[in-house]
Amino acid sequence: MTALSESEGRTRSGVIWLLADVVLVLTAVGLFIFGVVNDIVPVVVIAIILFLVAVVISVSFFMVQPNQAAVLTLFGDYRGSDRTAGLRITNPLYLNRKVSLRVRNFTTVTSKVNDSNGNPIDIAAVVVWRVIDTARAVFGVDDFTSYVHTQSESAVRQLARSYPYDAFDDSHVTTLIGDTSEVNENLLIELQERVTDAGVEILEARITDLAYAPEIAEAMLRRQQAAAIVAARAKIVEGAVLMVREAIEALEEGTEGHDPIPLDSDRKATFASNLMTVIASDHPTTPVVNVGTLAR
């Protein structure tokens, strides 16, 4: 079945017709009084006809607000939509349903979902949308507002199942917490595919609430802290090795080529061990002063 798409309805500006309607009413009232007073039946009949015409014109008016559209139907058949703001006039037999074209937004309910690693997480998103095809919005789905809300929650759940919350040591994996721009972009694409049949355009979709579920939050926090400590210690050791190497080279070269201190392999190893302990230690070190000599 071919999807119904929006088309332009046959309507006109109602301002001139409103003035003509007022003139018809005044003329009909004047002719009716004149015909009754002078007992002229044809004049009375004309007055009644003019009044009926004025009534028909009156029921043909409808108002369209800015950023609003009127969907027109005739005995259940779609006859087009009118997006022109102001007083409008059309076939008096047409029924019109107003549809807002304004930008709308809402936040999905926070849902508990398992990520791709099976970890339970709480996730929610904000969705910004608007109607771009009034025919599909009215006739494509039963209630387009409820449809967008339901599909948004479904898309957020599907997104959460497609990515891990965090990859820890693997930096090449797309994660919910680390790659928000890519995740939000994929959420928008997924949601747009779901709501196209409702004549809706998704302007923005982004995750606003993301956290581990309470039952595993403490364990995952300890894991994150452990990973952070390991990464920090690795960085400290890397820096310490560079500092020790530079210190040994500086001792052996001396100051501007003077007073060099040559070190053999054993002394280099002892010096490096002591200096690494001082630099990489978590706690302040207690120095031991050697008052003897290192010479053999």
**Longest CA–CA separation in the chain, Å:** 147
What does the pLDDT average to over 255-273? Answer: 69
For tokens 């693997």, what's the residue? 170
What is the chain's mean pLDDT, rounded? 84
What does the pLDDT average to over 4-15? Answer: 90
The region of weakest confidence among 7-16, 184-193, 202-211, 273-282 is: 273-282
- Dihedral of CA 33/37/40/41: which sign? positive
What pLDDT shows up at residue 231? 67
- For strands 61-64 and 86-89, give the pairing: antiparallel
Distance CA 248, CA 271 (A): 8
- How many helices, marked H, and strands, marked E, lie in the chain? 7, 10
Tokens of 231: 């990464």
For 171-184, letters b (16+ CB in 10 Å) and e give eeeebbbeeeeebb
What pLDDT shows up at residue 1? 47
What does the pLDDT average to over 110-123? Answer: 87
Q: What is the pTM of this model?
A: 0.70
Distance CA 117, CA 130 (A): 35
Tell me which H or E stretch contains 106. Answer: strand 104-107
Residue 247 in 3-state DSSP? helix
Report the candidate in 98, 48, 97 with the shortest Cα–Cα distance to residue 68: 98
The region of weakest confidence among 105-114, 178-187, 198-207, 247-256 is: 247-256
For tokens 């998704």, what's the residue? 202
Distance CA 284, CA 63 (A): 80
Which residues lie closer than 8 Å to 192 by C-beta, 6 or more apart? 201, 202
What does the pLDDT average to over 152-160? Answer: 92
